[in-house]
Chains A and B, each alone.
Chain A
Amino acid sequence: MAMMRYAEALRAALREEMQRDPSVWLMGEDIAVYGGVFKVSKDLMEEFGPERVRDTPISEQTLTAMAVTAAMAGTRPVLEIMYADFLPLSVDALMNQASIYNYIWNGQVTMPFVLRTQGGGGAGAGAQHSKSLDALVAHIPGIKVVAPATAADAKGLLKAAIRDDHPVVFLEHKLLYNTRDEVPDGEHLVEIGKARIARAGTDVSIIASSKMVVDALKAAEELAKEGISAEVVDLRTLRPLDRDTIRASIARTHHAVVVNEGWRFCGYAAELSATIMESCFDDLDAPVERVATHDIPIPYSEPLESTVLPDAAKIAAAARRALA
């Protein structure tokens, strides 16, 4: 075990996979010479050369489409899209190209590429650099979507994503890059599609992903002082969704709070809520409580931004409502 920052864990995953497999290569804006604006690919160009670590023009739409077909033609590109807010530019390639080929071409092709990006608010980056667009990508069949909350999962899931033969969108969070936790030494892989219980509890299940797991754990800590035992489910993978872990948790607690940093309306939390209603209805002792970002552009000034974003206090309040 080693204490590692989330960004370092990602870098370790990239490095190990590039060492292991010469067909793995990276592209993105400012990732090579500069090492990425969040320094995830720092020093990798020096180690692997400019052909495998490529700085690109600002052409997200084309770069995403290129990742799709480069993967089809036998290499394993890892594309960095600097901000999740730029994902709408990638969506045509994801939705009209990557999503369709394996299915409509009847399994003739696979597309082992990873699209890494980072989203989330709380850093005062404004309406075009703070969004969480989980639902936008998780909506697309044939695309896997992962969103790790810890350094250990960041490493294990990125390695698994690079080895996956199908498109994976890898959602990071700008406020997680500097968080630290224990990362297992040596070969560490985390299976895509498996949630984890981040904290066990008996009264209410808080289901979250990415940075919201951190907030959910804080909320659970607060609730514990009030005698409420909250279980925190860290989804880790948004699609395919680990319904079994959710079901099992709610069968224990009978109360659910679903949390997602994306917009509330038609957001990822809504999918969680519907899933719970479909598969755990008879186990519910209260309506599912939903915590998400208000349906407004994310404003700049601190009191405005903190009002619209979910946080630990809002999650705790939702848990109390569920248990009322």
Chain B
Amino acid sequence: MKNSPTVEEQLEMLRRMVAVRHLEERLGELHKAGKTRGPIHRCDGQEAVGIGATAMLDDEDLLTSTHRGHAHYVGKGVGMHPIVAEILGRVTGACAGRAGHMLIADMQKGLLGGNAIVGGGIPAATGFAVSLQMKNRADGGQRVAMCIFGDGAAQTGICHESMNIAALWKLPVVFVLEHNQYGLTAHHSTQSSVPDLSVRAAGYGMPSEIVDGNDVIAVHRAVGAAVELARRGEGPSLVEAKTYRMVGFSTSDVGGYQKNEDLATWRERDPIVLARAVLADSIAAERLDAIAAEARAEVDAAVERALSDPLPTFTDHAPSAPYTVAGA
């Protein structure tokens, strides 16, 4: 099938999903131990969206993420140690400790970046796409922008404004809706007039598709098709990946609003279990175990190293910035 990942690509996506899951678990422990600051927004159970949607992107393609972006960071190729060190506020972090876990960016990898203003990534990716379109026309390149956003962000005014402009100007941008059913504690049925948000794409004259967000192959296939379209200069698309948030909104969420039977149903559809099952026919269990162990070890090593890294000292401004500490 077109845009289906190869076995090797599937193995790499599995490795990344396991790494992200283990990262989330380690962060949960570190948060409890008081080693992190502020809330942590975990993406346990949603890994297939971030990993599957980004697998076909190059470093020159620009991705905007959300406040729940760990899978997007890893999917876009940012190293595990700079991610962990940033979350632990170390000078060795991806942004030298200035950004924190919600706002990580890596220019070299085309991750620009986490965004904790819900919906903020949508016009951001649209803006990237204007520049990329101009550059592509100038040099024949095929760069694309991608925005991964949630069902909460889909309700903002800027989502409408951005999709209208993206379609109007045929911008090379792919909107990936990571539909995890909840905006903080509110179920999507209390926030949206329609259950399937992708129907809105028709209003902009933009193609759309709904996929199983826990099936990394399905995500890869659908998003890959959308990326192809954008690379060919045929404009934006919307892919709605249905998934479910298995943990609270953040580490400060006391829960109580998600139904146990829903959680149980989705737990059976764990994206890592599903991805491994697909590979089990062709790959020996030992190799799959080894890949998983390697992924977890990478996270553990990054955590160990970051914990002993130095904290930053305050400096006046970023190397090129117009900021001042004492007055303008």
By a beta-carbon cutoff of 8 Å, the part of chain A in contact with chain B is 22-23, 25, 51, 54, 56-57, 59, 61-63, 65-75, 77, 92-93, 96-97, 100-110, 138, 141-142, 144, 165-166, 239-241, 243, 275
CB nearest neighbor in B for A242: B328
Specify which chain B residues have a CB less than 8 angstroms from the CB of A144 in the assembled complex: 322
CA gap between A243 and B324 in the complex, in Å? 14
Check B103 for interface membership: any CB of A closer than 8 A: yes
13 extra interface residue pairs, beta carbon distance < 8 Å, beyond A23-B134, A109-B112 = A22-B138, A62-B161, A62-B165, A65-B126, A70-B131, A75-B130, A75-B131, A102-B323, A166-B321, A166-B322, A240-B328, A241-B328, A275-B327
Contact A103 B128 (CB under 8 A): no
Contact A70 B127 (CB under 8 A): yes
**Of the 9-residue stretches B66-74, B92-100, B234-242, B303-311, which lies at the interface with chain A?**
B92-100
CB distance from A64 to the nearest CB of B (A): 8
CA gap between A105 and B115 in the complex, in Å? 12
Specify which chain A residues have a CB less than 8 angstroms from the CB of B168 in the assembled complex: 57
Check B259 for interface membership: any CB of A closer than 8 A: no
A-B contacts, CB under 8 A, total: 151
Q: Mark B3-16, 1 if CB is under 8 A from A, else 0.
A: 00000000000000
CB nearest neighbor in A for B315: A106
Interface residues on B, range: 35 or more
Contact A66 B322 (CB under 8 A): no
Contact B322 A106 (CB under 8 A): no
CB nearest neighbor in A for B97: A106
**Of the 9-residue stretches B116-124, B174-182, B284-292, which lies at the interface with chain A?**
B116-124
Specify which chain B residues have a CB less than 8 angstroms from the CB of A107 in the assembled complex: 318-321
CB pairs A–B below 8 angstroms (25 shown) = A25-B134, A57-B161, A59-B158, A59-B162, A61-B123, A62-B126, A62-B158, A62-B161, A63-B161, A63-B165, A66-B126, A69-B128, A70-B127, A72-B128, A74-B131, A74-B135, A101-B105, A103-B318, A104-B98, A107-B320, A107-B321, A108-B106, A109-B107, A110-B320, A144-B322
Closest 6 A/B residue pairs (Cβ): A66-B127, A69-B127, A107-B318, A65-B123, A73-B131, A62-B161
Contact A106 B96 (CB under 8 A): yes
Q: From B112, B128, B318, name the one whose CB has the most chain A CB atoms within 10 angstroms.
A: B318
CA gap between A240 and B165 in the complex, in Å? 34
Specify which chain B residues have a CB less than 8 angstroms from the CB of A72 in the assembled complex: 112, 127-128, 131
A102-B103 contact in complex given A65-B123, A68-B124, A96-B117, C-beta closer than 8 Å: no
Contact B95 A104 (CB under 8 A): yes
Check B227 for interface membership: any CB of A closer than 8 A: no
Contact A106 B318 (CB under 8 A): yes
- The listed residue (B62, B99, B128, B131) touching A104 by CB distance below 8 A is B99
Q: From B64, B107, B168, B321, name the one whose CB has the most chain A CB atoms within 10 angstroms.
A: B321
CA gap between A206 and B102 in the complex, in Å? 46
CA gap between A93 and B126 in the complex, in Å? 13
CB distance from A172 to the nearest CB of B (A): 21
Check B154 for interface membership: any CB of A closer than 8 A: no
CB nearest neighbor in A for B104: A105
Contact A97 B98 (CB under 8 A): no
CB distance from A171 to the nearest CB of B (A): 15
- The listed residue (A22, A71, A75, A165) touching B320 by CB distance below 8 A is A165
